[in-house]
Amino acid sequence: MDNTSVIRIENVSKRFVIRKEKSLKERVVNFGRSNLHKDDFWALRDVDLEISTGSTVGLIGPNGSGKSTLLKMISGILQPTEGSVHLRGRLAALLELGAGFHPDLTGRENVYLNASILGLSKKQTDLHFDAMVEFSGIEPFIDTQVKFYSSGMYVRLAFAVAVHVDPDILLVDEVLAVGDEQFQRKCLERIRGFQHEGRTIVLVTHGLDQVAEFCDRAVVLEHGRVAADGSPREALKVLRAEFESTRLEEVERAVKTSDAPIVRKGAKFTGIALRTDSGATGHPSLKRGEGLTVAVELEATTPLDDWDIGIGIATPLGTALYGTNTKLLGVRLPLHVGVGRYEFHLGELALGEGDYSVQASLTSSDGTEIHFVPQAAEFSVEGDGSSHGALAARARFTVV
C-alpha cells in the first residue's frame, strides 16, 4: 500500500515567454516583429517524478532552479508547456502564507475566508475555529483588522489556518522560516504530526538541515532539470558540490572582470589522504578514541606568503563538527613554492558511530579562500552501538 503514487509528474517542461511589451500600442507598432520582443526561458525541462503516499520530499536547489515553478505546477496554478501532472487526493498548497488575507477585514473574517480558499466549508471551519486561534496564539487580536497586525501575527494566523485544513498532499514553499523560535517549533511539530498521519508533504526549502531532518527523499533541481533524486544524504552532497562549483566560477569571473591588479594566488591541493593510528588508509575505519592523521599535498605555482592550511570534520550532510588551521595552532608557515606536503594529527577523536568527511582549505592571511575542498576524504567510526549522534562519550548508568 505504501507505494501508491499521489503525485505523478511525467515529462514536464515549462517555458516562460518573456515579452517586453504589454500595451496595445506596443503590440500594434511591433506587429509582425513580435518574435524579436520575446525571450524564451525554460524553467523546467523533462522532469519526471513519482511521489508516493506518506513520503516527505524535499525539493532543493539553487535560486532560480525551478523549485517553486514545479510546486505551482503540482498545485495547478501553472500549466505545463509539455507533459502532465496527475494527482490523487486533496491538496493544500502553502505557497505564500496569508495569500487571500484582506487587510481591511478582521482576523476572524479572514480565517473564514482563507479556510474557504483552502477548501474548507464553513461548517468545518466553525469546528476548527477555536483550535486555529489557539494554535496561532493571537486570541486577543482576533477581532482586529489584520492590517494592524505585526508580520509575525499575520504569519501565525495564516499558518494556523493552513495546518487545520485536512489535506492528503501538503505543498510548502519556504514558509517555515517564519515566526519566532517557539512558533517555528510548533509548526515543525505539526508537520511531524502530518507525517505520522500518512500525509504526503512536498517541501521547498533552502534550509538544508530541515531537509536532512524531515525528508525521507530529496530531489535536487538544477537549471530546471532533476540533478539528483534519492536519500537526503546523497542529494545534499550533490547540491553542496554544485554550490562549491558555482562559488569557484564566481571567483574566477570576479578575477577576470576586476580591474585591480589582484595577484591570483595559484595554489591548490593536489592530494589528501587519511591514516589512522593503527595504520589503516584509504577510507579507513576508526576505533573509538583512536587518532587520525590528515596528510595534504599542495602545489603552488606562485609563491605563497602569509598563508594557512585548515582542515575540518563534517557529517555526511555537511554539518561542520570540527575545524582547525595552522593559524589557530600557532604555526606560521614559511614562504612556499612548488609541491609541499603537510600533516595534521588529530588525537583521540571522540566521534560517535557513523560516516564522516574531511574538509580542507587553503587561505591567505587576509581571509580570502585560495582553495576549498568540501569533501576531501571520508572515514567511518566504529561504535559498540550504545549511542547515536556524532559525539561519543563514555556513558554509564547506575541506580542510586
Partner 1 sequence: MTDTATERAVRLAAEPLREAGPRPGFASGTLTSLRDIADHRELMGFLVRRELKSRYKDSALGFFWSLIRPLAMLLIYYIALGKFLGAARSIPDFAIFIYTGLTAWTLFNEIVTIGTASIVANSGLVKKVYLPREVFPLSVVGSAIFNFFIQVGILLAATMAVGRFPTGTRWLYFPLSLTLLLVFATALALLLSAVNVYLRDVGYLVEVALMILFWASPIVYSWALVQKQLACTPQMTAATCQTHQTLEQLYLANPVTLVVVGFQQTFWVAGSSEPIPTHLAERLGIALVIGVLLLWVCQRIFARLQANFAQEL
* Cα–Cα distance, 194 to 10 (Å, whole number): 26
Is the CB of residue 103 less than 8 Å from the CB of residue 147?
A: yes
Three-class SS of residue 3?
coil
- DSSP 8-state secondary structure symbol assigned to residue 281: B
Nearer to partner 1, 76 or 271 (CB): 76
- Burial (Cβ within 10 Å: 0-12, 13-18, ≥19) of residue 214: buried
Q: With binding defined as CB under 8 A, does residue 186 bind partner 1?
A: no
Phi, psi for 29 (deg, rounded to 5)? -60, -40
- Which stretch, 196-204, 239-247, 323-331, 390-398, contacts partner 1 (CB under 8 A)? 196-204
Among 6, 44, 142, 160, binds partner 1 (CB under 8 A): 6
Say if strands 225-230 and 217-222 run parallel, antiparallel, or are unpaired: antiparallel
Contacting residues for 147 by C-beta, under 8 A, at least 6 apart: 103, 104
* Cα–Cα distance, 266 to 262 (Å, whole number): 12
Nearer to partner 1, 106 or 375 (CB): 106
Among 36, 40, 196, 396, binds partner 1 (CB under 8 A): 196
Cα-to-chain-centroid distance, residue 346: 30
Nearer to partner 1, 79 or 278 (CB): 79
Nearer to partner 1, 154 or 356 (CB): 154
Q: How far is the CB of 235 from partner 1 (least distance, A)?
A: 24
Number of residues that bind partner 1 (CB under 8 A): 50
Q: At what angle do helices 107-117 and 151-164 cross, to 10 degrees?
A: 40
Q: With binding defined as CB under 8 A, does residue 131 bind partner 1?
A: no
Nearer to partner 1, 85 or 272 (CB): 85
Phi, psi for 214 (deg, rounded to 5)? -100, -35
Instruction: Considering only residues 133 through 162, tell me which ones interact with partner 1, judged by CB under 8 A.
Output: 145
Q: With binding defined as CB under 8 A, does residue 10 bind partner 1?
A: no
Instruction: Considering only residues 335 through 374, tell me which ones interact with partner 1, judged by CB under 8 A.
Output: none
Nearer to partner 1, 69 or 361 (CB): 69
First to last CA, the chain: 48
Q: 332 is written with which cell numbers?
A: 606560521
Instruction: Considering only residues 68 through 127, tell me which ones interact with partner 1, judged by CB under 8 A.
Output: 72-79, 84-89, 91, 93, 95-96, 99-100, 102, 104-105, 109, 112-113, 116-118, 121-122
Q: With binding defined as CB under 8 A, does residue 54 bind partner 1?
A: yes
Among 64, 152, 198, 389, binds partner 1 (CB under 8 A): 198
- Which stretch, 4-12, 129-137, 304-312, 342-350, contacts partner 1 (CB under 8 A)? 4-12
Three-class SS of residue 372?
strand
DSSP secondary structure, 324-354, as one string: EETTTTT-PPPPEEEEEEEEEEE-S--B-SE
Q: How far is the CB of 202 from partner 1 (least distance, A)?
A: 12
Binding site for partner 1 (CB under 8 A): 1-2, 4, 6, 8, 16, 22-25, 27, 53-54, 72-79, 84-89, 91, 93, 95-96, 99-100, 102, 104-105, 109, 112-113, 116-118, 121-122, 145, 168, 196-199
